[in-house]
Structure 1
Amino acid sequence: MFDQAVMMSHIVFGVFGILFAVALYMDVSNASETNLRRIKVLSWLVAVCVMLSYIVGGYWYVQYYGEHRNIIKAGQWPWAHTYFMEVKEHLFFIMLILSIYLPVAVHGGGLLAGRKARRLTQGVCLLIVLLGLFMEFSGGIIGKSITMALLRR
């Protein structure tokens, strides 16, 4: 039961990170003095959620994924580990760095001054959203590959 709670919290933190990045993207589109505080809070929420997802997911990976990896590799979809988990392991670091960069970009104060700073922040948000959606998709494939392998037995 604890392993399921860990996995669900990993997913929930990731989804909230994506949703906060979408909200931040929209707020940066209309950056002004009135929403600057909310923009700063959202940038921190994205960073915290992605970091928590990384920490919880890393714990789950070390504690539980070894057994699941063996089941996946012996099952009908061994490519789920070979491709999706390997790609997910490496792309997540990019997402982590981008999310940590968001508060730095937002607190720099350039959002109100120029369009380039807003576009850069929006680009980072968009990358976080796209990478996050890929992570969710990959996690679904990996989870389904375990089910497929266990049904085969």
Structure 2
Amino acid sequence: MSGEFILLLHPAFGILALLAAVWVFVESLNTGDIHYGRIRNMSLVVAVLMWLTYLIGGYWYVVFYGGDKAVIKAGPWPFAHSFFMETKEHVFFMLLLLATFLPIITGSDLIKQVAGRKVVQWTAAMIIVLALLMEGAGAVISMGVKVGLFTAA
């Protein structure tokens, strides 16, 4: 599998996980047996997609990122690595834990109580915000590579 294809899969799975988290949040605003099933299913989708994002991104980072890292550090935007990539590497674990926690809390009868739904809503909201931050950080890192390549040419 080529590095470019892997690099496309990583944010694609991340965005799909983000959309699934939005779905969970919106579904949890309603109550009813039909909603509970969809909430449980989509929370599992969030977790699976987030783990795929992590595994694919981790593979790409280990195998392919070394060259891009050198370009970023030598270019005009070294902060794209020193701040954004370093932050992304550490904050993502919180996102992964929240995504793993989501199907656990939606799989219990706790979701049928108001307090349980609030936990689901807050967890989904934190996933949404962190996923948006991760996507933004990825965009800055990508731009760091581009401006580094443009100035090297």
TM-score if structure 1 supplies the norm length?
Answer: 0.97
Structure-2 residue corresponding to 1:49? 49
- Aligned 8 A contact 1:31 1:111 in 2: no
Structure-2 residue corresponding to 1:133? 132
Which stretches of structure 1, 4 residues or longer, exceed 6 Å deviation after superposition? none
Query: CA–CA distance in 2 between the matches of 1:120 and 1:43?
Result: 13
Q: Which runs of 5+ in 2 are unaligned?
A: none
Q: Deviations over 1:60-99 (max 9, x none)?
A: 0000111111110000000110100000000100000000
Query: CA–CA distance in 1 between the matches of 2:107 and 2:146?
Result: 45
Query: CA–CA distance in 1 between the matches of 2:7 and 2:78?
Result: 21
Query: CA–CA distance in 2 between the matches of 1:26 and 1:4?
Result: 34
Equivalent AA in structure 1 for residue 116 of structure 2: A
Number of equivalences: 152
What is the CA-CA distance between 1:116 and the residue it aligns to? 1.1
SS in 1 for 2:95: helix
* Aligned CA-pair RMSD: 0.9
Q: Which runs of 5+ in 1 are unaligned?
A: none
Identity of paired residues, percent? Answer: 36
Equivalent AA in structure 2 for residue 127 of structure 1: M
Map 1:1-153 onto structure 2 (within 5 A): 2-112=2-112, 114-153=113-152
Query: CA–CA distance in 2 between the matches of 1:103 and 1:144?
Result: 34
